[in-house]
């Protein structure tokens, strides 16, 4: 018989302290931190905005090590031509406007070029002497054709918010920045299909769609800076993937320029088009290595009127899996996020942030779920039914449900605040992994056991590692394995690698679930892809970019 | 002020006569009918089942014209080797079991081979003398390697339910039938990810998933015969696309064999994997021209507990567009189908079928909507709110809501019965097109005006065309333009082509929204794809299949 226990009895209004406004204040110099986690980029002062200018005080350039020093095994490929004044003049002649070319060859423009040469994490830094900002697809075409004929290497760059160093040069590659291609071309209110230039800022696109009661089917912490072309080029994942699916399904068409200047006009405004190989898919996640995306056509869903967020504690990872299964069943079509945080990550978040957690008692695991739907009453009732069910059946130990927009923000803060606050003790080793859900948390336990056995993790200063924790997009089987450390330590690194990659490889997991390859993951691709697949990748690269000028030293 | 009119007043139980059991009885010989519509294949007697055997009485082989006769411009490519006894012995030696090889070379096996040589529409017929049925990926690999080395052309074949002649040979290509690869490999209850052999019948997969309260994210009339590998190879669209999206988003991984025997193991069980070019996408919709899909991994949603269907009449196509917009808004996450039928197609359906339509009065347009959700009460209320809104605001003129499963079937029958009953007068010219929704119906009007002006359409026997009608998956902007005719007439065809294709081309539409290219659409691909894109397609074909042995004479 069902017990008479009602969830309502334990359902309390979330009473949280408001969040500290300053984010990323705990960031340590890049050399001590491996920033591969899903951290928000919006408040990072060094990050260039829409126009390529830097918000706030620029980071001291000296603080950023050149990538060529961090990766001494990388050598500039001598097949590439060195930039000359003649080249620069050609670009100036083509692009006209002073603001479209940053010329660091004929004069010292290092301060102007710096934001394009290095990434917002201050981890990667190139030696580019030229930045060009085309304003049309035709200009991109002429630029690439010229570079290809003259063997000038290039780096396509969107908002430069990536986490793997893919959008900044390594040596003297010319930066082709898409910021000036920022027009929304069309939106069809009936089909929900948006066509826009690659350089449109994600948030600008989403705000535009909000007025039309639609949403962009992708959401990211860096939405204020990242560009939709870059999102597509890196196949960004983000917070809405569980609900709206990947860009491979939502992007209906692209316009792209190949290295030889060919404009591929596959900017379909059709949801269905079954006439040939879906070649555009190669550009989605191609990270600018076979061409430059200049515009996209994307299917945008209706914006949901009702949004609810609940946060609850659970006894075990098995219970979290059960909760996810039940959430899919009870919330089905309105479930828009299912995030998991282990108790350790929430404890460290609490310690570092000084904030109270939403639940008074401690639990080994926590989950945050979000629903988005068209009817407030229905969604609340569904969520209530779900919560009653998981409470009564003992799947969930305790929980709270946000009562207003502020509380929604506060509950999300307990999940979104984790990455930044884990840096509190000095640094974090971070891994962005995809592993079948059933085994996902085993890796966190295995890694913790390994570091514990090696005597590297503990409560006092004598241990380099503070703890080994896991959190992430459970609904997408995307785990962020994090090892917060007091100091950078070779012994810790030796225990972590290749252990983590081998563990993931054995489960046919992915060593990069949503961040891509760039320069950071290139050496490790073999753990997620076999030799046959790498050969196929190389074929594609050689087919489209036989001279290898596109984003060299990265990806493949 | 809002009127006090309530939808409930006009909401009536649908009282329909039950459907006539026999389908396709009006089919005319293939030469007189262009069957490119979305017709169900399940009750077609000539169609081979799971094991490749034919249900009911086989169609007389003589009735089916050879494709080589219908398309006299096609010539067998002399680079392909003629099949010898030595080849046949090699296959028998490899595949062992008697049932795995149908040998039409050393003996007369035409009756056995016929179901593999011709399609269920009896429109395409090849001259194959050999059918092989591998049971494993390794066998597929050995077969392709051997064929590639010996320049033996092949046709990969799934359930052979396609509509464009892509799955049957033209000349003497060897048929590689996947029916014996019919194992479900795994299903993860938490993530909803199914991994299965290519030869699994769609309905078998869906029934398996139903037991686990999930659904296959694709539904088709031919689900009882088509195979999931074929569905992926042809990028099938179907009835659930509006809700669950295309296979490009849902297929997470594939295992495929390249012509040289290379096994591409990209059978990811991960929702997110951002490590390299998404090469599997080329096989989705590649129609077996660059390799054979041997297994897929696919994300399957939870099965909805509640399903509702409503049918309503509208004054104009503009109102139908408005209704679609409002349906997206009011029904958002539960909308699973939005179908449009013009009044003319419903009238002809009524005349030909002898059935009553759900609404007593006639309307210029009709729509059918389906909702699928997790909560019966909520869904009913949403639908009720939507219907009240569209009735009160005058978007919809009248409507009915199905009260039970039988009525759901009856309402769907008014949509699904259209293609077959349009053949009543003799034949139908059919086009499967995708056009931006706002202009979609303009083509039907333009075509009707054109035929009327030419004096070709009218009520009496002196006019070849009965009418020009339009219906289709409005939610996907997928129009089925149909011209039911009393007799095949060159004058009608001359008015239709290239007019229809040119019209679609001008709107950047697709000449094949969901049926693919095969042999039927190959000549017309230029209307949907420009020269640049065709060049890129040819590059891909040459890259993977340099000898051109895969499904020749089709696609590209």
Statement: residue B203 has pLDDT above 70: yes
From chain B, pick out residues whose CB is under 8 angstroms from the CB of A441: none
Asked whether residue A338 is assigned to any structural domain, the reply reads yes
A460 shares a domain with A375? no
From chain B, pick out residues whose CB is under 8 angstroms from the CB of A265: 530, 532-533
Q: Count the alpha carbons within 13 Å of A105 in the hemisphere toward its beta carbon.
A: 19
* Nearest chain A residue (CA) to B300: A328
Among residues A246, A249, A278, A247, which one has the least CA distance to residue A264?
Answer: A278
H helices present in B72-136, as ranges: 85-95, 110-117
**Could you tell me the pLDDT band of residue A17, with boundaries at 50, 70 and 90?**
very low
The pair of three-digit structure tokens given for residue A447, joined into one six-digit string: 């890694």
B398 shares a domain with B315? yes
Asked whether residue A539 is assigned to any structural domain, the reply reads no
Q: How far is CA A290 from CA A246, A257, A548, B312, in A?
A: 21, 9, 9, 49
Among residues B164, B168, B157, which one has the least CA distance to residue B198?
Answer: B157
* Interface test mutation site (partner A, options B271, B325, B370, max chain A beta carbons within 10 A): B271
The pair of three-digit structure tokens given for residue B18, joined into one six-digit string: 């039950």
What gap in Å lies between CA B343 and CA B393, rounded to an integer? 21
Q: Which of A515, A535, A551 is the last residue of a domain?
A: A515
B452 shares a domain with B428? yes
Using an 8 Å Cβ cutoff, are A478 and B272 in contact?
yes
Using an 8 Å Cβ cutoff, are B218 and B224 in contact?
no
A224 shares a domain with A204? yes
Q: Is the dihedral of CA B243, B247, B249, B255 positive or negative?
A: positive
From chain B, pick out residues whose CB is under 8 angstroms from the CB of A192: 328
Q: Which CATH number fits the domain that encloses residue B203?
A: 3.30.465.10
Mapped onto helix, strand or coil, the DSSP state of residue B378 is: helix
Closest Cβ opposite residue A277 in set B263, B286, B521: B286
B440 shares a domain with B360? no
Q: Does B237 touch chain A (CB under 8 A)?
A: yes
Q: Does B328 touch chain A (CB under 8 A)?
A: yes
Q: What backbone torsions phi and psi does residue A279 show, to the nearest 5 degrees?
A: -65, -30
Q: Which CATH number fits the domain that encloses residue A379?
A: 3.30.70.2190
End-to-end CA gap in chain A: 59
* Interface test mutation site (partner B, options A275, A299, A388, max chain B beta carbons within 10 A): A275
Query: What is the interface size between A and B, counted as CB pairs within 8 Å?
Result: 278
Give the rounded distance of the alpha carbon of B319 from its chain centre: 28
Residue B63's pLDDT is 67
Strand order, beta sheet including A427-434: A398-401, A306-314, A365-373, A335-342, A469-473, A478-485, A427-434
**Could you tell me the pLDDT band of residue A23, with boundaries at 50, 70 and 90?**
very low
* Nearest chain B residue (CA) to A332: B374
pLDDT digits (tens, 9 = 90+) for B123-179: 899 999 999 999 999 999 999 999 999 999 999 999 999 989 999 999 999 999 999
B352 shares a domain with B326? yes
Using an 8 Å Cβ cutoff, are B188 and B165 in contact?
no
* Interface test mutation site (partner A, options B238, B270, B480, max chain A beta carbons within 10 A): B270
Q: How far is CA B215 from CA A32, A338, B263, B301, B455, in A?
A: 47, 21, 29, 6, 49
Statement: residue B44 has pLDDT above 60: no
Asked whether residue B376 is assigned to any structural domain, the reply reads yes
Statement: residue A416 has pLDDT above 90: no
B384 shares a domain with B459? no
* Rounded average pLDDT over B395-409: 93
Are A270 and B436 a contacting pair at CB < 8 A?
yes
Strand order, beta sheet including B184-188: B184-188, B193-197, B292-299, B251-257, B263-266
* Rounded average pLDDT over A323-350: 94
* Nearest chain B residue (CA) to A533: B264
Domain count of the fold of chain B = 3
Using an 8 Å Cβ cutoff, are A556 and A541 in contact?
yes
Q: 3-state SS of chain B: helix, strand, coil percent to 5?
A: 35, 20, 45
What gap in Å lies between CA A529 and CA A179, rounded to an integer? 33
What gap in Å lies between CA A57 and CA A45, rounded to an integer? 6
H helices present in A458-530, as ranges: 490-496, 499-506
A295 shares a domain with A188? yes
DSSP tag of A423:
G
pLDDT digits (tens, 9 = 90+) for A56-84: 333 344 468 899 998 999 999 999 999 99
pLDDT digits (tens, 9 = 90+) for A200-253: 999 999 999 999 999 999 987 788 999 999 999 999 988 779 999 999 999 999
What gap in Å lies between CA A402 and CA A276, rounded to an integer? 48
Q: Does A288 touch chain B (CB under 8 A)?
A: no
pLDDT digits (tens, 9 = 90+) for B272-311: 999 999 999 999 999 999 999 999 999 999 899 899 999 9
What gap in Å lies between CA A32 and CA B198, rounded to an integer? 48
Contacts of A173 (CB under 8 A, 6+ apart): A80, A126, A128, A153, A154, A155, A551, A552
Q: Work out the minimum CA distance from A66 to partner chain B, whole angstroms.
A: 25
Q: Which CATH number fits the domain that encloses residue A487?
A: 3.30.70.2740
Asked whether residue B425 is assigned to any structural domain, the reply reads yes
What gap in Å lies between CA B465 and CA B487, rounded to an integer? 8
Query: In angstroms, how far apart are the furthest CA atoms of chain A?
Result: 84
* Rounded average pLDDT over B514-534: 93
Among residues 119-178 of chain B, which lie with CB inside 8 Å of chain A?
Answer: none
Map tokens 């290092």 to a residue.
Answer: A110
Question: How high is the ipTM of this complex?
Answer: 0.87
Closest Cβ opposite residue B510 in set A273, A304, A436: A273
* Rounded average pLDDT over B199-206: 98
Q: How far is CA A419 from CA A333, A471, A493, A518, B246, in A?
A: 29, 9, 19, 21, 34
Give the angle A386-A238-A431 at the CA atoms, nearest 5°.
105
Are B333 and A374 a contacting pair at CB < 8 A?
yes
Using an 8 Å Cβ cutoff, are B401 and B385 in contact?
no
**Could you tell me the pLDDT band of residue B419, with boundaries at 50, 70 and 90?**
confident
Mapped onto helix, strand or coil, the DSSP state of residue A399 is: strand
**Could you tell me the pLDDT band of residue B396, with boundaries at 50, 70 and 90?**
very high
Among residues 442-501 of chain A, which lie with CB inside 8 Å of chain B?
Answer: 473, 476-478
Map tokens 């359906």 to a residue.
Answer: B349
Residue A61's pLDDT is 46
Q: Does B63 touch chain A (CB under 8 A)?
A: no
Asked whether residue B54 is assigned to any structural domain, the reply reads no
A251 shares a domain with A192? yes
B239 shares a domain with B190? yes
Query: In angstroms, how far apart are the furthest CA atoms of chain B?
Result: 84
* Nearest chain B residue (CA) to A269: B436
H helices present in A171-283, as ranges: 202-211, 228-233, 241-244, 247-250, 280-283
Q: Count the alpha carbons within 13 Å of A298 in the hemisphere toward its beta carbon.
A: 31
The angle that helices A376-392 and A317-331 make with each other, rounded to 10 degrees, is: 140
Among residues A270, A335, A300, which one has the least CA distance to residue B438?
Answer: A270
Statement: residue A55 has pLDDT above 50: no
Statement: residue A18 has pLDDT above 80: no
**Could you tell me the pLDDT band of residue A402, with boundaries at 50, 70 and 90?**
very high
What gap in Å lies between CA B148 and CA B156, rounded to an integer? 14
Q: Which of B265, B299, B333 is the last residue of a domain?
A: B299
Asked whether residue A80 is assigned to any structural domain, the reply reads no
Q: Which of B235, B269, B299 is the last residue of a domain?
A: B299
B334 shares a domain with B280? no
Q: What is the span of the domain harbouring residue A368?
A: 306-416
Helix (H) or strand (E) holding A330: helix A317-331
Closest Cβ opposite residue A279 in set B237, B372, B536: B536
B268 shares a domain with B341? no
Cis preceding linkage at A456, omega within 30:
no
* Rounded average pLDDT over A104-117: 94
Residue B101's pLDDT is 96
End-to-end CA gap in chain B: 59
Residue A63's pLDDT is 67
Asked whether residue A348 is assigned to any structural domain, the reply reads yes
Asked whether residue A134 is assigned to any structural domain, the reply reads no
Q: Does B513 touch chain A (CB under 8 A)?
A: yes
Closest Cβ opposite residue B373 in set A249, A332, A435: A332
């Amino acid at each position: 018989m069902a017990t008479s226990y009602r969830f309502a009895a334990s359902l309390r209004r979330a009473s949280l302290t408001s969040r500290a406004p300053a984010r990323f204040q705990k960031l340590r110099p890049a050399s001590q931190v491996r920033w591969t986690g899903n951290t928000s980029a919006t408040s990072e002062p060094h990050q260039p905005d829409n126009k390529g200018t830097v918000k706030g005080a620029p980071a001291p350039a000296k603080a950023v090590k050149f990538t060529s020093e961090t990766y001494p095994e990388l050598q500039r490929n001598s097949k590439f031509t060195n930039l000359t004044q003649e080249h620069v003049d050609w670009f100036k002649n083509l692009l006209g406007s002073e603001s479209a070319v940053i010329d660091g060859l004929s004069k010292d423009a290092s301060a102007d070029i710096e934001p394009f040469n290095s990434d917002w994490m201050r981890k990667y830094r190139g030696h580019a002497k030229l930045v060009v900002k085309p304003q049309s697809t035709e200009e991109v075409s002429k630029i690439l054709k010229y570079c290809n004929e003259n063997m000038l290497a290039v780096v396509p760059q969107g908002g430069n918010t990536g986490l793997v160093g893919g959008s900044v040069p390594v040596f003297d590659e010319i930066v082709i920045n898409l910021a000036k291609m920022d027009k929304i071309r069309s939106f069809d209110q009936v089909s929900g299909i948006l066509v826009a230039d690659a350089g449109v800022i994600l948030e600008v696109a989403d705000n535009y769609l909000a007025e039309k009661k639609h949403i962009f089917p992708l959401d990211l912490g860096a939405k204020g800076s990242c560009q939709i072309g870059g999102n597509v080029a890196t196949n960004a994942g983000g917070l809405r993937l569980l609900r709206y699916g990947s860009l491979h399904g939502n992007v209906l068409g692209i316009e792209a320029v190949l290295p030889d200047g060919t404009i591929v006009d596959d900017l379909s405004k059709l949801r269905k088009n079954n006439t040939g190989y879906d070649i555009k898919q190669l550009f989605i996640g191609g990270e600018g290595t076979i061409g430059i995306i200049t515009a996209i056509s994307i299917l945008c869903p209706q914006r949901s009127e009702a949004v609810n967020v609940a946060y609850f504690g659970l006894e075990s990872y098995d219970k979290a899996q059960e909760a996810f299964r039940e959430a899919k069943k009870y919330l089905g079509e309105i479930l828009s996020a299912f995030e998991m945080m282990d108790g350790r990550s929430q404890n460290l978040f609490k310690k570092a942030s000084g904030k109270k957690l939403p639940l008074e008692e401690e639990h080994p695991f926590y989950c945050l779920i979000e629903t988005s739907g068209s009817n407030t009453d229905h969604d609340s009732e569904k969520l209530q039914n779900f919560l009653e069910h998981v409470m009564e059946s003992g799947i969930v130990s305790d929980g709270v449900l946000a009562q207003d927009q502020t509380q929604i923000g506060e509950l999300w803060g307990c999940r979104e605040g984790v990455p930044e606050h884990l840096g509190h003790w000095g640094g974090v080793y971070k891994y962005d992994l995809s592993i079948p859900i059933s085994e996902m948390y085993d890796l966190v336990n295995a890694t913790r056991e390994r570091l514990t056995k090696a005597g590297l993790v503990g409560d006092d200063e004598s241990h380099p590692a503070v703890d080994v924790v896991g959190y992430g997009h459970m609904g997408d089987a995307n785990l962020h394995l994090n090892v917060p450390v007091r100091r950078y330590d070779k012994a810790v690194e030796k225990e972590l690698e290749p252990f983590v990659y081998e563990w993931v490889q054995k489960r046919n997991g992915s060593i990069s679930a949503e961040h891509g390859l760039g320069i950071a993951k290139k050496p490790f691709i073999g753990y997620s892809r076999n030799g046959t697949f790498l050969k196929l990748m190389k074929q594609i690269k050689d087919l489209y970019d036989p001279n290898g000028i596109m984003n060299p030293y990265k990806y493949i």
